Structure 1
Amino acid sequence: MKGTASRSRWEIISSHIFTYFNFLNLVLAGLVLVSGQYKNMLFMGIVVTNAVIGIGQELKVKRIIDALSVVTATKARRYENGEFCKCDIELLRDGDTVRFLLGDQIPVDCEILETDGIEVNESLLTGESLAVQKKKGDFVYSGSDVVAGSAIAKVVHTGEENYATQLVKKAKTKRRATSEMQDAIGRIIKYVSYALIPIGLLLFFIQRYSAHNTLSDSIVNTVAGVIGMIPEGLVLLTSISFILGVGRLARKNALVQEMEAIEALARVDVLCLDKTGTITTGDLQVEELVPLSEEKDMAEVLGVLAYAFEETNATTEALRRYFPKTQGAVIAEKVPFSSSRKHMRVTIAGKGDYRLGAPEYLTENGKTLARAEVYAAEGMRVLLLTHDKNEVGFIILSDIIKADAAETFAFFREKNVQIKILSGDNPLTVSVVGVRAGLPEAKNYVDARELPEEEEELRKVIGNYTVFGRVSPEKKQAIVKALEAEGNVTGMVGDGVNDVLALKDADCGIAMAAGSDAAKQIAHIVLLDSDFASMKQIVGEGRTIISNIERVSALYLTKTIYSILLCLIYIILGKSYPFIPIQLSLIGGTAIGIPSFVLALEHHEETIPRGFLRNVLRVSLPAAICMVGSLVAITLMGEWFSLSELILSSMHLIAGGIVSFGVLLAVCIPMSRVRFALCVTVIGIFVGAILLFPGFFGMAPVMHLIMTLL
């Protein structure tokens, strides 16, 4: 299903008007017109109403989404009037000068003019996950992500001339959000579409030449059988529910980039996330310096490293707040921090090579690593500074835990959603922070470097841990894949370039609007307020939408199943079809149409088990069999007692109504005041219709029917 924001008004209108089922309904209406029984064309009023409602609702949601999409639109930094200003990528032209910073997704093909240690991930184009360092004169291609450093470049290709476009965007396409519901409904439509015409032709032949009906009655009976088989209401209901769901989530600051993501979100049972920005605020503060050598200029060196690169992150921001910039130092060479290296490197002229990063990546000294673990056990983040590979000292930083973290984790625990923390930090540090934030399972931690590389082995141990530390981008991706291979529906929340691979392969990828362009472009849903706590409302809303769709889908699928079975059985029996179109319009409108729209708008959150078709068939299949059994029994009884066609038609209509309202009552359990009022209202409409207008609906007056049966 194409995103609402990406469709023009004409595309929306035409998608609701020019459909296979609308064309089929038009043909059937034409046949009824030829028959002269005009009242049986009432179903076209329902078709038109459905189309108008669908168009109106989708256009309404489109206005909301178009307004919010501006937040996630990819921008470029173009040099004009002496400074770099953000502009839409569509405005870029060959020869423009642009700047790329850490986290950017490169929108056009460029040649590097100046570089500040830029490294790009070209995996979306080449499949190679290792970052590539670019030098002056090298080319960077659209679809690549900046994972370290920054650069100034000249645009060489735009639009259709881009390398990614030439590849027909094959390598850039992300995995679409999974939709078990859409797949199941698609299969139903496919099989019913194949069956409609041959069954309809056979039914007409039987009505005309075996049941010996008039041509007019044969046409009307055939139209009734075919109309009942068309699952048009199911398609419309699903589409409108998803569209309204996009609008609801937009009002809760979640931009849905793929409608299917709503279902994946509702069924998520494992949620993977980083520590930063979810458990913690993302801000750090320097607590202390711990010297490990006799070097006296540790603060001065850190005053160089903190300002060596134009692009910053939470760590360098904390260092800049603590250390003033060292004047006079000349940097001979520098390599920025990356999530795969876990450190940065700066060579200072006359002093030597300095590195700052995770202790495990910079030293093998057991005593030093043991001291780092002591701080990590207190929930601190530890950085090691080395000089020409000799240890200089620790920089101890602390995270700030979000005030609502415990409440958010309690919500997911109540909803039976497992939490997995995938962090690049020390696993012990993350574990301590997780426990302090209200996630007791965080005590089960592991260093991701110790996990097996083979997926089969990884699947065996993945359930033993909640916290995974020192996780590389590739390992995040492997963990997500292993969880999915174990049968879990996996959500991934991320905001950085290091999360892109995992976001791409998750059943539902969720990015923060304040995060990198690459993460926002690859995600299925973007949190516009960049607040992980809003996931409570968003998951709840997703579950409400999908539970409503599953509930009312049983109503529509019951009708499709019993209509197919009735057609086949009455073809075999050679008897007149038990309904006429006007009767199906009455049953469909009161027992299916009105209730489905009311129930689809309910706010009633439920846990959604996997198996959409199985869940729906649990109600609809027994009901359809009950309907078919009742109608066939009435037909055979009518022949045995020589009942008139009018009496038989009346009994069929009443039996059909009773079974249909039984299905409605079943899907309304547990009964609420609104649902009880709904059931009473639609049953009242049905009873009133057959009491006041029996002739219009093809049945005998009720008193005449009672007297005949008595």
Structure 2
Amino acid sequence: MSTIESPPTDVTTGLTAAQVAERVAAGRTNDVPARASRTVGEIVRANVFTRFNAIVGVLFAIILVIGPIQDGLFGFVIIINTGIGIFQELRAKRTLERLAIVGEARPRVRRDGTTAELTPSGVVLDDVIELGPGDKIVVDGIVLAADGLEVDESLLTGESDPVHKQVGDQVLSGSFVAAGGGAQQATKVGREAYAAKLAEEASKFTLVNSELRSGIDKILKIITYLLVPAAALIIWSQFRTVGNDLPEALRGMVAALVPMVPEGLVLLTSIAFAVGVIRLGKRNCLVQELPAIEGLARVDTVCADKTGTLTENGMRLSRVAALGGHAEQDARVALGALGVSDKRPNASLVAIAEACPSPAWTVSATQPFSSARKWSGASFGDRGNWVLGAPDVLLPEGSPDAVEAERIGSEGLRVLLLGSCTGQVDDPAGPGAIDPVALVVLEQKVRPEAAGTLAYFAEQDVDVKVISGDNALSVGAVASSLGLTGAHAPIDARELPETDKELLADEVSGGTVFGRVTPAQKRAMVGALQSRGRTVAMTGDGVNDVLALKDADIGVAMGSGSPATRAVAQIVLLDDSFATLPHVVAEGRRVIGNIERVANLFLTKTVYSVLLAIAIGAIGVPFPFLPRHLTLIGSLTIGIPAFFLALAPNTERARTGFVKRVLRLAAPSGIIAGVGTVVTYLIVRTDPGATEIQQKTAAVLTLYLIATGVLAVVARPFAMWKVALILASLAAFAYALLTPLPFGRDFWQLDAGDTRTMLVGLAVAVVGIVLVEIANLVITRRLARATPEH
């Protein structure tokens, strides 16, 4: 590593272009890979080299050797499905990586005396980085300048209280600025930085911690254990029944084993998630963790901040109401001085600065705004000490000025108090006695899409709780104007119990609108809801929302919000539109609900395949199907319908217990289908006038019709396209069974010429379909009784 010249001593200029080039050449860059997804090679390997592709590949190779090729059609289906899986994930990869670039934190770096926004990877060793409220610290460093700088290190240490930083103190990557501002010098970059490994792992495109995926893996593991004994039994059985005809015995084994593997279930799960990511990407929604789609499908409570969620971030100064004999013009002068005293002003100060020109007062001390304090201020030497903040925090309770501020706030306006104080604003003992000077009234614009979004959640039985740091009456007025049920009775969070968690859970569960909520309270309220079995999504855009976003089941950040909120959230709404959230919830429900639907189909096939292998092996008769027969049945009742069902609309809220619910329907349906097929085959084998192929055709008819009955149950509630899908399946089967045309009965080796065997197959199938309907009815009623109402 080449020698690096000493870092700059002038904080205001930063590195020169030559110094930057020298560090880049030496490899002293912030080169942590921030992958949004797997590489192309990893995607191909993950989709091709799977345990189940290996099993099916071996069976396909056996058919290629012994023939005919029609019995190996299942192999081509696997090739096509794998190709689709690779294509869809590559498409999702490109979407995620494009969106991740848009949503990443962009540090402000000083170089050659100017400040520019860079990507995190553009930072080099010794760079001077400006820090402001909400900024994510992307590299380790030391503080070069501090102006009321407070850094929240909760994401690293778990401690929620911000840490005051002075010049020379260390700051760590992964933390963020809670209040104040300053500058840092980068001392550790790239993989040397404290949070580099955590950041790299957190940005991966992954399916971990997904109940859906873990449930499917559990099912597949059980199936794997069943394959070996089933294969041994069926091989022994086939050799015993067909003698030394090795090709026929192997065909029977392949026919028995292939349908046991629900290979399409994993594929369709990946496709459904990938399509969900792409659809949400088109709505400017960045899914940072794939399980977030599944998590939102389970959400029954949304906690929303008012500012930036129900209302737009921008504000306008409505009026300045002077108090206590003070002149409005004097108040506006002081407001103009405060408006330019903060280098990184919040939305309120921006609106004030736009309306009140600066008098060019000299600042002697500042106190940046903090969500915990709920006020900010500045000292101007002989011009006095001035504070600006929440009236109900700075004024005595019940005072005439506090009552007036509350009255104005009840109209849905934001009200701040301008006051002069006796002490310096940065005095640890506090600003001292406050003389009220004026009430500053700000107007907030309600987001036009907010009312429709709240109405959607009400229709979907999702509770919305507005949790804000603003005055409770003001928040309640805004929420009431949007038609939110329960908004007429807002709750002041300062009256909530602090130590009694049960009582807090009661209050939060029963309330709808909460004002004057501190960051710690937001976090506690999320925990209280979770303690009552709620699945909570938290939306927010400010630093004060970070802890709650982190603890919520699903964190949703606004794209224009602070980098800290975007860093901890699973979902980022890049266009800041609250109206996108219903689409995210709907996408999650569509994905999870449909995967559960198709899982019923795949596992029904697995159950009847295992039962057939065991029963036929134990009875000691030839296997009733050729591999092509089961390819035909599987394609028409599972493969093709499942693809359409997996992408269909679905608004049912996802629930826990995926594996149990799926097996409740799949197990009895599979047993009915398997037993019905064996009964048909054993009956028709007693008919001396029927050929072997006619006997197998009767078994094919029974299994197909019962499987179609299961498809009809899973596809409910019916829509025209679902009815058309089932009718198309029946028509395709009739074509394969009855016509001598290409890809007809000769191709599939079916013969429906024996009336008696066909009637037996039809009669058993009708009984089987009735039993499937009865089983579904009983299971549905039990599930309805077992589902708790929240």
TM-score range, shorter chain: over 0.9
Residue 515 of structure 1 is matched in structure 2 by 561
Q: SS of the residue aligned with 1:669?
A: coil
Contact 1:420 1:466 in 2 (8 A): yes
Query: Please, which of 448, 460, 465 is the counterpart of residue 415 of structure 1?
Result: 460
Q: SS of the residue aligned with 1:306?
A: helix
Query: Please, which of 748, 757, 761 is the counterpart of residue 697 of structure 1?
Result: 748
> Equivalent pairs: percent with the same residue?
39
Q: What CA deviation, in whole Å up to 9, does each residue of 1:102-134 have, x standing for no partner?
A: 211111001111122221110111111111121
Which amino acid letter does the alignment assign opposite residue 334 of structure 1? T
- Cα offset for 1:242? 0.8
Residue 268 of structure 1 is matched in structure 2 by 299
After superposing the two structures, state which structure 1 stretch, 318-327 or 368-377, moved more: 368-377
Residue 442 of structure 1 is matched in structure 2 by 487
Residue 355 of structure 2 is matched in structure 1 by 322
**In 2: Cα distance, 1:13 partner to 1:4 partner:** 17
After superposing the two structures, state which structure 1 stretch, 178-187 or 76-85, moved more: 178-187
- Cα offset for 1:174? 13
Residue 151 of structure 2 is matched in structure 1 by 120
Residue 300 of structure 1 is matched in structure 2 by 333
Residue 674 of structure 1 is matched in structure 2 by 721
**In 1: Cα distance, 2:554 partner to 2:209 partner:** 7
Matches within 5 A, 1:60-75: 60-75=91-106
Give structure 2 stretches of 5+ with no counterpart: 1-33, 423-432, 761-790
After superposing the two structures, state which structure 1 stretch, 275-284 or 142-151, moved more: 275-284
- Cα offset for 1:155? 0.7
CA separation of 1:130 and 1:231: change in aligned 2, threshold 3 A: same
Q: SS of the residue aligned with 2:445?
A: strand
Does residue 1:545 correspond to 2:595, yes or no?
no
Q: What CA deviation, in whole Å up to 9, does each residue of 1:650-708 have, x standing for no partner?
A: 22211111111112222333333322222222222222122334454354x21146579
**In 1: Cα distance, 2:76 partner to 2:565 partner:** 46
Query: Please, which of 184, 192, 204 is the counterpart of residue 215 of structure 2?
Result: 184
- Cα offset for 1:317? 1.2
Which amino acid letter does the alignment assign opposite residue 723 of structure 2? F
**In 1: Cα distance, 2:253 partner to 2:224 partner:** 16
CA separation of 1:5 and 1:681: change in aligned 2, threshold 3 A: farther
**In 2: Cα distance, 1:631 partner to 1:174 partner:** 43
Contact 1:432 1:442 in 2 (8 A): yes
Contact 1:647 1:705 in 2 (8 A): no
Does residue 1:383 correspond to 2:420, yes or no?
no
**In 2: Cα distance, 1:145 partner to 1:285 partner:** 28
Q: SS of the residue aligned with 1:6?
A: coil
Contact 2:105 2:119 in 1 (8 A): yes
After superposing the two structures, state which structure 1 stretch, 632-641 or 405-414, moved more: 632-641
Residue 366 of structure 1 is matched in structure 2 by 398
Q: SS of the residue aligned with 2:369?
A: coil
Residue 608 of structure 2 is matched in structure 1 by 562
- Cα offset for 1:23? 1.1
**In 2: Cα distance, 1:48 partner to 1:11 partner:** 17
Query: Please, which of 308, 320, 343 is the counterpart of residue 375 of structure 2?
Result: 343
Does residue 1:396 correspond to 2:441, yes or no?
yes
Residue 621 of structure 1 is matched in structure 2 by 667
Contact 1:177 1:507 in 2 (8 A): no
Residue 290 of structure 2 is matched in structure 1 by 259
**In 1: Cα distance, 2:203 partner to 2:733 partner:** 54
**In 2: Cα distance, 1:682 partner to 1:170 partner:** 45
Residue 20 of structure 1 is matched in structure 2 by 51
Residue 82 of structure 2 is matched in structure 1 by 51
Which amino acid letter does the alignment assign opposite residue 89 of structure 1? P
Does residue 1:99 correspond to 2:130, yes or no?
yes
Q: SS of the residue aligned with 1:702?
A: coil
**In 2: Cα distance, 1:32 partner to 1:457 partner:** 67
**In 1: Cα distance, 2:35 partner to 2:748 partner:** 40
CA separation of 1:4 and 1:574: change in aligned 2, threshold 3 A: farther
**In 2: Cα distance, 1:350 partner to 1:106 partner:** 36
Does residue 1:155 correspond to 2:186, yes or no?
yes
Which amino acid letter does the alignment assign opposite residue 455 of structure 2? A
- Cα offset for 1:169? 7.8
**In 2: Cα distance, 1:295 partner to 1:133 partner:** 35
Give the TM-score of the pair, scaled to structure 1: 0.92
Residue 61 of structure 2 is matched in structure 1 by 30
Residue 590 of structure 1 is matched in structure 2 by 636
Q: SS of the residue aligned with 2:341?
A: coil
After superposing the two structures, state which structure 1 stretch, 81-90 or 216-225, moved more: 216-225
- Cα offset for 1:639? 5.5
After superposing the two structures, state which structure 1 stretch, 383-392 or 102-111, moved more: 383-392
Q: SS of the residue aligned with 2:306?
A: coil
Which amino acid letter does the alignment assign opposite residue 197 of structure 1? V
Matches within 5 A, 1:220-239: 220-239=251-270
Which amino acid letter does the alignment assign opposite residue 625 of structure 2? F
Contact 2:678 2:699 in 1 (8 A): no
Contact 1:43 1:585 in 2 (8 A): yes
- Cα offset for 1:640? 5.3
Matches within 5 A, 1:179-218: 179-209=210-240, 214-218=245-249
Matches within 5 A, 1:655-666: 655-666=702-713
After superposing the two structures, state which structure 1 stretch, 281-290 or 503-512, moved more: 281-290
**In 2: Cα distance, 1:352 partner to 1:176 partner:** 58
Which amino acid letter does the alignment assign opposite residue 136 of structure 1? V
Does residue 1:86 correspond to 2:130, yes or no?
no
CA separation of 1:709 and 1:546: change in aligned 2, threshold 3 A: closer
Give structure 1 stretches of 5+ with no counterpart: none
Which amino acid letter does the alignment assign opposite residue 552 of structure 1? V
- Cα offset for 1:219? 2.6
**In 1: Cα distance, 2:206 partner to 2:82 partner:** 31
Contact 1:446 1:468 in 2 (8 A): yes
CA separation of 1:166 and 1:537: change in aligned 2, threshold 3 A: closer
CA separation of 1:102 and 1:559: change in aligned 2, threshold 3 A: same
CA separation of 1:9 and 1:139: change in aligned 2, threshold 3 A: same
Which amino acid letter does the alignment assign opposite residue 673 of structure 1? M
Contact 2:559 2:576 in 1 (8 A): yes
**In 1: Cα distance, 2:95 partner to 2:50 partner:** 26
CA separation of 1:21 and 1:372: change in aligned 2, threshold 3 A: same
> How large is the Cα RMSD of the aligned pairs?
2.8
Contact 1:77 1:84 in 2 (8 A): yes
Paired residues, what number? 706
Contact 1:590 1:682 in 2 (8 A): yes
- Cα offset for 1:273? 0.7
Contact 1:207 1:222 in 2 (8 A): yes
**In 1: Cα distance, 2:758 partner to 2:98 partner:** 64
Q: SS of the residue aligned with 2:359?
A: coil
- Cα offset for 1:173? 11
- Cα offset for 1:647? 3.6
Contact 2:674 2:703 in 1 (8 A): no
CA separation of 1:496 and 1:45: change in aligned 2, threshold 3 A: same
Residue 9 of structure 1 is matched in structure 2 by 40
**In 2: Cα distance, 1:349 partner to 1:492 partner:** 43
CA separation of 1:202 and 1:702: change in aligned 2, threshold 3 A: closer
Which amino acid letter does the alignment assign opposite residue 466 of structure 2? I
- Cα offset for 1:176? 8.8
- Cα offset for 1:295? 5.2
Residue 768 of structure 2 is matched in structure 1 by none
CA separation of 1:4 and 1:193: change in aligned 2, threshold 3 A: farther
**In 1: Cα distance, 2:356 partner to 2:178 partner:** 25
Contact 2:396 2:402 in 1 (8 A): yes
**In 2: Cα distance, 1:688 partner to 1:173 partner:** 48
- Cα offset for 1:583? 1.3
- Cα offset for 1:421? 0.5
**In 1: Cα distance, 2:284 partner to 2:446 partner:** 22
Does residue 1:654 correspond to 2:686, yes or no?
no
